[in-house]
Structure 1
Amino acid sequence: MVILRKYKMELVGWTGATISLSAYSLNSLNIVGSQSVAYLLMNIFGCFFLILYALSKKAHASWVLNSIWLIMTMVALLKVYMGGW
């Protein structure tokens, strides 16, 4: 069971990293804009998975950084839906 949980958390971490890197790459290549819903949602999911992974590894700096990034992204998404405030 412990080994299965370890591999599951590794998958969570790699999934988060892949989603976050994909969002960054798509934005850098001007395929999605930094205020697009697709980009912001990718960041939210990527951060969420990376937070779960970092918590499982007790990597405090990583989960704090990703938590701040997640909050900033959620504020940006709210701003998009509210029409720019």
Structure 2
Amino acid sequence: MMKNTRYITATVLDGNRLEIETPDLPIGQTIEVILVIPETLQASLTLSDRYAFLKLPIAERQKVLSMQAEAMIEHYENNTEWKDLMTGDIVEYSEP
């Protein structure tokens, strides 16, 4: 079964709530929500969070990883600091 997918960003509101508006979906429609947490917050994942991810069906894990890969594409396209590491000459040092 093919699923229709939308990528929406949201901000955590007071009370740790998320609000998502999708005017094209009918009221009462059941949807699946996958949260992709930015890298800066992922360092705080607990071991049980990581085990929970590993217990997901492989198809769900692939979806999460695919979404993370898309986010990284956007990151590397918008943040060019990494390109500075790729410039310049390669220097080989030898011990005397």
TM-score range, shorter chain: 0.3 to 0.5
- Greater RCO, 1 or 2 (C-alpha within 8 Å, sep 6+): 1
Query: Which structure carries more helix by proportion?
Result: 1
